[in-house]
Amino acid sequence: MAGKEKILIVEDERNICNFLTAVLTANNYDAIVSHTGADAYIMITSHCPDLVLLDLGLPDIDGLSILSAVREWTQLPIIVISARTQERDKVEALDRGADDYITKPFGTSELLARIRTAIRHTYTFASNEDVAQTGIFKAGELTIDYNKRNVQIRGEEAHLTQNEYKIMALLGKYAGKVLTYDYILKELWGPSARGNNQILRVNMANIRRKIEENPAEPKYVFTEVGVGYRMTQGE
């Protein structure tokens, strides 16, 4: 199973961290926590969360600097949660790549709605409006359900691991296009993973055993030798 969506909370106030962790856990998210900017950047690159809740007033590094650094290599959804209410603060955060900006204090229903929206936007893209609207990618007997975070083949759960699901989800998002090895590694494992194609090959071999009738002659995910992988066009 691909597992729950993982959300990184970057916040130095312990009571707020505990509150957010409780809310997210109660709503079926996997919450992890960082109290400093330096630790947050390490956790983003090592844990590869599905979304980040980022406070700007961190004790060591301003949250805007974290935002800029992360945006150099990934479009991971980031929602800023801050006590800064000035319009210029909101504008700067959004200009640096924040997906949303929530001012403290905030309601839990609003926060959860914005989280759902930000995550949904990770698979909404202009080239396939059906997927954008339904959250489902189909090609032949293969289905990627972005809402349930699973992959089905011939109507049965493929039982992918979390990493295998993330690879399929990324390839499905850009179906028909070649994604280079380095691009996939950077998006899913962070910039330090570039060039480590072995981890990708192992995961892809496992994926093909689970979704392809004949892994040696794939119908869904194709290898562009020396370059990367390409998902077949969706329906």
Residue 124 has pLDDT above 60, yes or no: no
The answer for residues whose C-beta is within 8 angstroms of residue 228's C-beta and 6 or more apart is 178, 179, 180, 181, 183, 184
Lowest average pLDDT, out of 9-13, 36-40, 129-133, 190-194, goes to 129-133
Phi-psi region of 159 (alpha: psi -120 to 50; beta: other; left: phi over 0): left
Question: Nearest-CA neighbor of 51 among 79, 16, 93, 11?
Answer: 79
How far is CA 4 from each of CA 32, 106, 148, 162, 191, rounded to the nearest angstrom? 12, 24, 9, 9, 24
Is-contact 35 43, C-beta < 8 A?
no
Q: Could you give the count of Cα atoms lying within 13 Å of 79 in the half-sphere of its Cβ?
A: 23
**d(C-alpha 187, C-alpha 207), whole Å:** 18
Q: What local confidence, expressed as pLDDT, does residue 78 receive?
A: 94
**d(C-alpha 32, C-alpha 49), whole Å:** 9
Pick the CATH number of 129-231 from 1.20.1090.10, 1.10.10.10, 2.60.40.10, 2.40.110.10: 1.10.10.10
Domain ranges of the chain: 6-123, 129-231
pTM over 0.75: no
6-123: in CATH 3.40.50.2300: yes
Residue 126 has pLDDT above 50, yes or no: no
**Which one has a higher pLDDT value, 128 or 62?**
62
Is-contact 231 207, C-beta < 8 A?
no
Q: Which two tokens stand for residue 60?
A: 């060591």
Q: What local confidence, expressed as pLDDT, does residue 85 receive?
A: 84
